[in-house]
Chain A
Amino acid sequence: MVIKLTVNGKEHTLDVKPYHTLLRVIREQLGLTGTKKGCGNGECGACTIIMNGQPVRSCLVLGVEADGAEILTIEGLGTGATLDPVQQAFIDEAAVQCGFCTPGFIMATKALLDRQEHPDDEAIVQAMSGHLCRCTGYEAIMRAVKKAAQLRGLNH
């Protein structure tokens, strides 16, 4: 099935199988491998992207459902020269170890801060619930989300 979608600001026309997930289309047909497959069931968060302004689990969205959609993946944040404040915050707070969960956490953080500029601890925890990290123990990630809110505030 032929679909048209915009990914990180660029338009694509793709022929996709109806039973392929958006995750697979992004990774294998567009070569954007920053988005990860962790569990394939929507439970780990590693596949999180932003679709039409909302964070979703791309492993539970079919490619065909993204016809006409605007997609933002981790590759769409920042530029080659500068990092998005969320990315910078994760580095500043050493919230990245193996990095596998990181794109998902960063997309979720961006989506959270887009809807709530200064989330409190409870709001952060609930927004990040459903994102699993095996390495960091989450504390550094909490600090990174708060730092990201701060850095974004500085840019206004």
Chain B
Amino acid sequence: MNRVFDYVACRSLAQAVDLLNQPGAIPFAGGTDILVAIREGKLRPKLLVDLKAIPELSDIRWADGMLRIGACTNINTLQTNNDIACHFPVLATAGLRFACYELRNRATIGGNIANAAPCAQTAPPLVVLDALVEVLSRAGRRLVPIQEFITGVSSTVLNPGELITALLLPAQPDDSSGIAVRAARVDGMDLASVHLAVQIRHLLDDANREVRFCFGSVTALPARYPDLEEVLSRTFLTRELIQTVSKAVAARIAPRKSSLRASPFYKKAIVGVLLAEALAKLLDNPALACSEEEPRW
């Protein structure tokens, strides 16, 4: 490591908040983004405030109709924890192709959101689940809806002296399901080229079904289209309807010119395909993913 900094392993939230109010102090959990940024000279902290030993931050429990996931929960735990795997599969599956097993033992959900890279794989699932980000500061706790929390590329509403303590997920109806899928250069360790989270409430009930979907790695912020979600909701889902919405998403989404890992053209072409595939998987009906049109290439 070619940079010099100090380190404290915190034992309590009070201690953490206190230390974080020192200039140059930053919250530190898995270290998989921070240590790389320090090495690259992008971050020059004076003090790393290690949060991993604070019990509340690794806790996962139901409270007031929400599942509270401690910010220091590592990505592998998103799959192995029963509450998350059973009740929030859209989040659990987002951890399936996320870096590699070793990094998932260290990377945390709080860190993934705080880092706010456009390719953050926990962001789209949290968006479709209407998650809240719990932030702690000297002034106390506040809850920020996830879509308000991330404000741009690597940019959030977190101020110096603040830390994310938990992600809160509202309980979903029993007959809900969700899935996260992605397009990447390899089916393994790679950041996503395009990432998609789909959550469906009342999966098999045409009259009450609610479809939510959100794309990551395409635009600076997670991309949601509430009006298109509405088209897919509370109706009998046909291949034609899904194709219509897929084409509308593809037409509307505006990939960043600085698109990484795939060209803007590719990303625009693949978003609709991913959406149809994800819906077909969730509804267990492969035919829904077929397109009427001939492929263009």
Contact = CB atoms under 8 A, between A and B. Distances in A.
B48 A60 contact: no
Contact of A130 (B7, B9, B189): B189
Nearest to A104: B102
Contact of B188 (A61, A111, A112, A126): A126
Interface residues of B, number: 25
Interface in B74-103: 99-103
A19 B1 contact: yes
Contacts of A153: none
B189 A55 contact: no
A62 B31 contact: yes
A65 interface: yes
A146 B181 CA distance: 29
A64 B7 contact: yes
B139 interface: no
Interface string B1-42: 101111101000000000000000000000110011001000
B46 to A, nearest CB: 11
Q: How large is the interface on A (under 10, 10 to 19, 20 to 34, 35 or more residues)?
A: 20 to 34
A142 B133 CA distance: 41
A125 B188 contact: yes
A18 interface: yes
Interface string A126-147: 1101110000000000000000
Interface string A1-36: 100000000000000001111001000000000000
Contact of B36 (A24, A45, A60, A61): A60
Given A57-B106, A61-B31, A130-B188, A45 B100 contact: yes
Interface string A53-68: 0111100111011010
Contacts of A20: 1
A41 B105 CA distance: 15
Contacts, number: 77
A18 B3 CA distance: 10
A42 interface: yes
Contact of B103 (A40, A57, A111): A57
Contacts of B9: 64-65, 67
Contacts of B3: 19
Contacts of A40: 39
Nearest to A52: B105
Nearest to B52: A65
Contacts of A45: 100, 102
A43 B7 CA distance: 24
B189 A56 contact: no
A108 interface: yes
B50 interface: yes
Contacts of B50: 65
A60 B35 contact: yes
Interface in B100-122: 100-103, 105-106
Contacts of A43: 189
- Closest 6 pairs between A and B when the two form their complex, measured CB to CB: A130-B100, A129-B188, A18-B7, A130-B189, A129-B189, A54-B105
6 contacts: A18-B7, A21-B1, A24-B1, A55-B102, A65-B50, A129-B186
Interface of B: 1, 3-7, 9, 31-32, 35-36, 39, 48, 50, 52, 99-103, 105-106, 186, 188-189
Given A40-B39, A129-B100, A130-B99, 13 more contacts: A19-B4, A54-B105, A60-B32, A60-B36, A60-B103, A60-B106, A62-B48, A65-B52, A67-B9, A112-B101, A126-B101, A129-B188, A129-B189
Interface of A: 1, 18-21, 24, 40-43, 45, 48, 54-57, 60-62, 64-65, 67, 108, 111-112, 125-127, 129-131
